[in-house]
Structure 1
Amino acid sequence: MKEQLEDIIGQVYQKERRNLFTFLTGAGISSDSGIPTYRGIDGIWVKDTQFHKPEEFGTLRYFKEHPEEVLQYALFRKKMFENAVPNESHFELSEIENMLQDRFHLITQNIDNLHRRAGNQRIYEIHGNNREIKCSNGCKEILVLPEEIKGKDLEEDLTERDVTLLTCPTCGHWMRPNILWFDEYYDEKTNKRFGSLKVAKNSGVLFIVGTSGATSLPIAIAETALKYGAFIVDINTEDNNFTDLIRDKKNAVIIRERSTDVLKTIKDIIQNLH
């Protein structure tokens, strides 16, 4: 594994064009921080221990029918994220960015803010984030979630003040988390659709870490990187949708080891070149 990575990283490091080192991360990279995956067996639990499948609960349709329930859950997740701390994989990526500077880009499906807290700055959050809110009725402005709104325990209801602060100041409809739901489409403003594909086009290598490729834009990012000649390195503990895409490609490597160990190896290789 190390020799393959040394060869790939060495080639990309010497390139003058399409020389970006791009990392695509998903929920698996945050599991060591205690954050359950969205589709995991723990699923989504809301108050009264009512269980919902993510594909049903995580939709704009469900939000419009049950806005307070979804917002209460979003604030429960907010507290979970705030109580979590970045893990070793997050910090390895931060150190890699410090070495590569503008040749580094991080595309993440995670909304948990742990990459930023670990120190990464060149980030494309393609599923949105938990720091921001926007109008559920389509008003264009994206706002920072007011600091006054605190994370909640699972059984806590919204306060009157929460309701006021989560009302759109323009049209009076509910504000909603600035994240991508299952019945929505990727765009540029919230999801950096075109920006992330441009990064993929200019990548010399795309490292896929802790994501199965269950949604369309991550797969499109990998397809674009392949089309323009990038190496693809699939770092996951199990085969996934990316594996099917790259299995027979000569410029692809499949690694079935812990992300922390592989990222440390990548960091050490770059450090030696640097």
Structure 2
Amino acid sequence: MNKELKELIFDQINKNNKRRNKVVFLTGAGISAESGIPTYRGTNGIWVKGSTFYKPESFGTFEHFSKNADQVWQYTFFRKKMFHDAKPNKNHRLLVQIENNLQDRFHCITQNIDNLHQRAGTERLYEIHGNLREMRCSEECTKEVYTIPSEISLKRIDEDLTCDEKELLKCTKCGEDTRPNILWFDEFYNERNFKLHSSLKLAKNSSLMIILGTSGATNLPIRLVEQTLKYGGYVIDVNLEDNNFTKSFSTKKRFYSIREDIYSFLADMLQIIN
């Protein structure tokens, strides 16, 4: 991190503005890469069932779920096993240290559904793509969200759900299939499940937003950056390569790109705020 960015971070951390003094971290798959979790869109994210190959953009949709609920739930428990076997890495742990230092000024908005932020100890967290801890009725007969039954075992990629397990995934109110409480490619953000308005309000009141390991492939992260810049905040994009944020905001005077690994950046930032 160069001297200019260090001074910028120091100034924003010490900014005496009660309304716009939040420091928001926007995280994506890149922060979990060292935990061994492949990205959903990447080559390793393509799911194969028998001789059928599914691309994420077609498999990860409500339309596909409505026709293949058992398939999607089986894959969900395979992913849950992958997340369960992974461990929070040094990036997650550094973020927790920064949160402990900044306290109420710290907030993390994550696109990840892997639960690693929570397991590392992050408390002020907004999951804008949902999570794999919860399920809800696919027919929306109720607004309630339920914890996915712990009685259902985590699955290998080729291991199907049992009949008893399928029954546990039925809505207790209407008897229809439940669904994972995650955002699919053919769905829209909302406040109830995906913290749409809460995250936009955070972005508005941020003096500093730091992007960690996400390319801005979905529309809400782009809107969050727009919101922070619109209301006078600064944005630092920490990624190894240029991305959709670069394409959209590189000409903005309060937008900075830094092309280095997440750990190096967070370690420098921790020194600045200590």
Segments of structure 2 that go 5 or more residues without pairing to the other structure are none
- The question of 1:192 aligning with 2:195 is answered yes
Say if 2:258 is the partner of 1:255. yes
Query: After the TM superposition, which of the residue ranges 3-12 and 62-71 deviates more from structure 2?
Result: 3-12
* 1:132 aligned to which of 134, 148, 155: 134
- CA distance, structure 1, for counterparts of residue 103 and residue 243 of structure 2: 30
Asked if 2 retains the 8 angstrom alpha-carbon contact of 1:107 and 1:125, the reply is yes
CA apart distance, 1:46 = 3.6
Is the Cα contact below 8 Å between 2:137 and 2:178 reproduced in 1? yes
Deviations 1:14-48 (A, max 9, x none): 22231111000001111110000111121321432
Which residue pairs with 1:165 in the alignment?
168
Cα deviation digits, residues 163-198 of structure 1 (max 9, x gap): 111000011111110000011000001100000000
Counterparts of 1:65 and 1:115, CA distance in 2: 32
Identity %: 55
How far off is 1:252 after superposition? 1.8
1:47 equivalent among 46, 49, 61 = 49
For residue 265 of structure 2, what is the amino acid of its counterpart?
V
1:65 alignment partner, one of 44, 67, 86: 67
For residues 150 and 119 of structure 2, the distance between their equivalents in structure 1, rounded to whole angstroms, comes to 17
- Answer yes or no: is the 8 Å Cα contact 1:207–1:235 preserved in 2: yes
TM-score normalised per structure 1: 0.96
Q: CA RMSD in A?
A: 1.0
Aligned to 2:40: 38
Paired residue type of 1:113? N
Answer yes or no: is 1:153 the counterpart of 2:156.
yes
Greater shift in the superposed pair: 239-248 or 197-206: 239-248
1:12: which partner in 2?
12
| Aligned amino acid, residue 193 of structure 1 | L
- Matched with 1:78 is 80
How many angstroms does 1:50 deviate by?
Answer: 2.7
> Which residue pairs with 2:208 in the alignment?
205
SS at match of 1:157: coil
Match of 2:234 in 1: 231
CA distance in 2, matches of 1:142, 1:252: 37
What amino acid does structure 2 have at the position aligned with 1:225? T
Q: Please give the residue correspondences for 1:87-166 in structure 2 after superposition, counting only pairs within 5 Å.
A: 87-139=89-141, 140-166=143-169
Cα shift readout 1:70-128 (whole Å, capped 9, x = no counterpart): 00000000000000001111111111001101100000000000000011010000000
- Residues 47 and 55 of structure 2 are in contact (CA less than 8 Å); yes or no, is this contact kept in structure 1? no
TM-score for both structures, normalised by structure 2: 0.96
- 2:3 paired residue number: 3
- Whole-angstrom CA distance in 1 between matches of 2:38 and 2:214: 13
Give 5+ residue unaligned stretches, structure 1: none
Q: Tell me how far 1:147 sits from its aligned partner.
A: 1.2
Q: How far did residue 214 of structure 1 move?
A: 0.5
The equivalences for 1:16-31 within 5 A come to: 16=17, 17-31=19-33
Equivalent residues of 1:27, 1:37 under 8 A apart: yes
Between the aligned partners of 1:100 and 1:46, the Cα distance in structure 2 is 44
Task: Supply the distance in 2 between the matched residues of 1:233 and 1:196 (Cα, whole angstroms).
Answer: 17
Which SS does the other structure have where 1:190 is aligned? helix
- The residue identity in structure 1 corresponding to 2:9 is I
User: How much does 1:5 deviate?
Assistant: 2.8
> Size of the alignment, in residue pairs?
271
1:148 offset after TM fit, Å? 0.9
- 1:267 CA displacement: 1.2
Are the counterparts in 2 of residues 94 and 120 from structure 1 also a CA contact under 8 Å? yes
